[in-house]
Amino acid sequence: MELSVIARVSNDFTEKFGVPRQSGLSESAVSRVILEPEYKNPDALRGLEGFSHIWLIWGFDRVRQTGWSPTVRPPRLGGNERMGVFATRSPFRPNRLGLSCVRLVSVDRERCELTVAGADMTDDTPIYDIKPYIKYADLRPDAVCGWADAAPERKVEVVFPADLLALLPEDKRSAASEVLSMDPRPSYHDDPERVYGMEYGGFDIRFTVKKGILEVLAVLEKGGENGHKLT
Residues 116-139: pLDDT tens digits?
Answer: 999 999 999 999 999 999 999 999
The secondary structure of 90-118, three-state, reads: CCCCCCCEEEEEEEEEEEECCCCEEEEEC
Residues 58-84: pLDDT tens digits?
Answer: 999 988 877 888 999 887 787 778 999
Rounded to whole angstroms, the Cα distance separating 25 from 29 reads 9
C-alpha radius of gyration, the chain, whole number: 19
Residue 230 has pLDDT above 70, yes or no: no
Q: Looking at the chain, which residues constitute the CATH 2.40.30.70 domain(s)?
A: 7-138
Fold classification of 7-138 is Elongation Factor Tu (Ef-tu); domain 3 (2.40.30)
- Please indicate whether residue 174 or residue 21 has the higher confidence score (pLDDT): 174
Residue 48 has pLDDT above 60, yes or no: yes
Instruction: Output the pLDDT for position 148.
Output: 85
Q: Looking at the chain, which residues constitute the CATH 3.30.2310.20 domain(s)?
A: 157-229
- If one looks up domain 157-229 in CATH, what number appears? 3.30.2310.20
What pTM was computed for the model?
Answer: 0.88
Residues 176-223: pLDDT tens digits?
Answer: 999 999 999 887 778 889 999 999 999 999 999 999 999 999 999 976
Instruction: Output the pLDDT for position 225.
Output: 55
